[in-house]
Structure 1
Amino acid sequence: MTGPLTTLKVVEFAGLGPAPLAGQLLADLGAQVTVIDRASGPAQPEDVNRRGKRSIALDLKSETGLTIARAIIADADILIEGFRPGVMERLGLGPETCPDRLIYARMTGWGQEGPLAHTAGHDITYLAQTGVLSLLATADAPPRPPLNLVADYGGGTMFLVYGVMAAVIERAVTGRGQVVDAAMIDGVPAMMGLIHTLMAQGQWRAPGANWLDGAAPFYRCYRCSDGRDMAVGALEPQFYAQLLGGLGLGAGDVPPQMDESAWPRVCAQFAGIFASKPQSHWTQVFTGTDACVAPVLTMEEAAVDAHLAQRGTYTVVDGVLQAGIAPRMSSMSGAPARAPTGPGAQANAILAELGYEATAIAALRAAGDVT
Structure 2
Amino acid sequence: MTPQGPLAGIRVVEVASLAPAPFGCMVLADLGAEVLRIDRAGSSAAITPPAGPLDRGRRTVAVDLKDPEGLALVRELAAGADVFVEGFRPGVAERLGIGPDDLLALNERLVYARMTGWGQDGPLAHTAGHDINYIALAGVLQPIARQGERPLPPLNLLGDFAGGGLLMAFGILAALLERNRSGRGQVVDAAMVDGASLFTAFMRGMHAVGLWQEEPGTNALDGGAAFYDTYECADGGHVAVGCVEPQFFAQLLAGLDLKEDEDLPYYVDPRGWDAWRGRIAARFRTRTRAEWAEVFAASDACVTPVLSPWEAHDHPHAVARGSFVEIDGVIQPAPAPRFSRTPAAPPAAADHGGRDVVSTLADWGIGPDRARSLIASEAIA
TM-score, normalisation: structure 1: 0.95
Deviations 1:202-240 (A, max 9, x none): 111111100111010000000011111010011111111
Contact 2:147 2:224 in 1 (8 A): no
1:235-250 equivalences in 2 (<5 Å): 235-250=244-259
Which residue among 137, 155, 158 is the counterpart of 2:166? 158
Does the C-alpha gap of structure 1 residues 334 and 12 become closer, same or farther in structure 2, counting only changes over 3 Å? Answer: closer
Bigger shift: 71-80 or 135-144? 135-144
Indicate if the aligned counterparts of 1:57 and 1:343 stay in contact, CA closer than 8 A. no
**1:84 equivalent in alignment to 2:89:** yes
Alignment of 1:300-319 (within 5 A): 300-319=310-329
1:23 maps to which of 22, 25, 29:
25
Identical positions, percent? 46
Q: Decide whether the 8 Å contact of 1:46 with 1:320 is kept in 2.
A: no
Q: Give the aligned residue type for 2:96.
A: L
Corresponding residue of 1:105: 113
| Paired residues, number | 370
1:61 to 56, 63, 66: 66
Q: Is the 8 A contact 1:56 1:343 kept in 2?
A: no
Distance 1:275 1:355, change over 3 A: closer
Q: 1:45 to 1:188 in 2, by over 3 A?
A: closer
Higher relative contact order (CA 8 A, sep 6+): 1
Q: Give 1:33's aligned residue.
A: 35
Across the aligned residues of Structure 1 and Structure 2, the Cα RMSD in angstroms comes to: 2.0
1:256 shift after superposition = 0.6
Q: Determine if the alignment matches structure 1 residue 335 to structure 2 residue 345.
A: yes
Equivalent residue for 1:72, pick from 69, 73, 77? 77
For the Cα contact (< 8 Å) 2:5–2:344, is it kept in 1? no
The CA deviation string for residues 149-197 of structure 1, in whole angstroms up to 9 with x for no partner, is 0111111112111111110111000001110001111111112221011
TM alignment of 1:275-286, pairs within 5 A: 275-286=285-296
CA distance in 2, matches of 1:334, 1:97: 33
What residue is the counterpart of 2:15 in the other structure? 13
Distance 1:317 1:332 in 2: 22
Aligned AA (2:252)? L
The one-letter amino acid paired with 2:266 is P
In structure 2, the partner of 1:369 is 379
Q: Alpha-carbon deviation of 1:298? A: 2.2
Pick from 86, 89, 98 the counterpart of residue 93 of structure 1: 98
| Residue-by-residue CA offset, 1:65-96 (whole Å, 9 max, x unaligned) | 11111110000001111111011101000110
CA distance in 2, matches of 1:13, 1:334: 24
Contact kept? 1:39, 1:344, Cα under 8 Å = no
Residue 5 of structure 2 corresponds to residue 3 of structure 1? yes
Q: Which residue does 1:225 correspond to in 2?
A: 234
Q: Which one of 129, 140, 148 corresponds to residue 121 of structure 1?
A: 129
The answer on 1:207 being equivalent to 2:216 is yes
Deviation, 1:97, is 0.9
Paired with 1:357 and 1:235, the residues of 2 have a C-alpha distance of 62
CA contact (8 A) 2:31 2:344 kept: no
Matching residue of 1:183: 191
Q: Give the distance between the partners of 1:346 and 1:11, measured in 2 at CA.
A: 17
Q: Secondary structure at the match of 1:330?
A: coil
* Structure 1 residues 124-139: aligned runs within 5 Å: 124-139=132-147
Which consecutive unaligned segments of at least 5 residues does structure 2 have? none
CA distance in 1, matches of 2:49, 2:27: 18
Q: 1:45 to 1:342 in 2, by over 3 A?
A: farther
Does the CA-based 8 Å contact 2:13-2:38 persist in structure 1?
yes
Please list every run of 5 or more consecutive structure 1 residues that lacks an aligned counterpart in the other structure: none
Q: After superposition, what is the alpha-carbon deviation per residue over 1:23-57, rounded to whole angstroms, capped at 9, x for unaligned? A: 1110111100010112399x999421111111111
Deviation, 1:301, is 2.1
CA offset at residue 332 of structure 1?
A: 4.2
The letter of the residue matching 1:329 is: F
Cα deviation for residue 342 of structure 1 reads 7.9
> Which AA in structure 1 matches 2:291?
H
Moved more, 132-141 or 222-231: 132-141
After TM superposition, the structure 1 stretch with the greater mean CA deviation from structure 2, 313-322 or 339-348, is: 339-348
